[in-house]
Amino acid sequence: MSDAIAIRLGTARDRAFVVDLGRRVSQTSVSSLRIALAPLVEGAYERLVEFVLMRDHDILIAEVDGAARGFGLLIHDLPDEVTLTEQTLIAYVAVEPEWQRRGIGRKLLEQAQEQARKRGLPYISLNVTEENVAALTLYETDVFRTERRTMTKAL
C-alpha cells in the first residue's frame, strides 16, 4: 500500500481539504481531562490553520491514486520556547479515518523531516495528546522522544 502514497507540497487549492479534515478529526487532540465542546475545538483548529499560514510554513498533502487522504502542517520559524533552538514544528497531522493505519502518517512524517533537513533545521518537534495511542506509537517508532510534559489537574 505505501508505494501508492504520494506526498506533495500543498497549495491554496488544498486549504478546503485541510480545514475540513482537520475539523473532522480535531477531537483526537482533546484529552479526557478536559470538557470540550466540538464547535470550540473545531474553531481552535481553524485558528491554528490561520496561524500556520502566517508563518514560514509548508503544507504536505498525502495522496493515494490522486485523491487527498491526509496532510501535515509544518512551521519552520517557531523556535523551541525554552532553548530558542531553531526547529521545524509539526503543527498538525491528519489522515482520513478510513485511510488510517496504511502508512500515510508515516510518509507524512518522513517528508516533514526531509523538509526540515532541506532547510538545515537541527530539530523537528510536535505535540501529541497522551491518549492518542496510534499517533504516539507512530512517533515513538520513528524515535521521537518526550522532551517535556504538560500536566493538568481538574479543579
Distance of CA 87 to the CA centre of its chain: 15
Q: Give kind and range of the element (H or E) at residue 24.
A: helix 15-25
Rounded CA separation 141/25 (Å):
22
pLDDT digit string (tens) for 69-94? 999 999 999 999 999 999 999 999 99
Q: pLDDT band at 154, cuts 50/70/90?
A: confident
pLDDT digit string (tens) for 6-58? 999 999 999 999 999 999 999 999 999 999 999 999 999 999 999 999 999 99
pLDDT at 100: 95
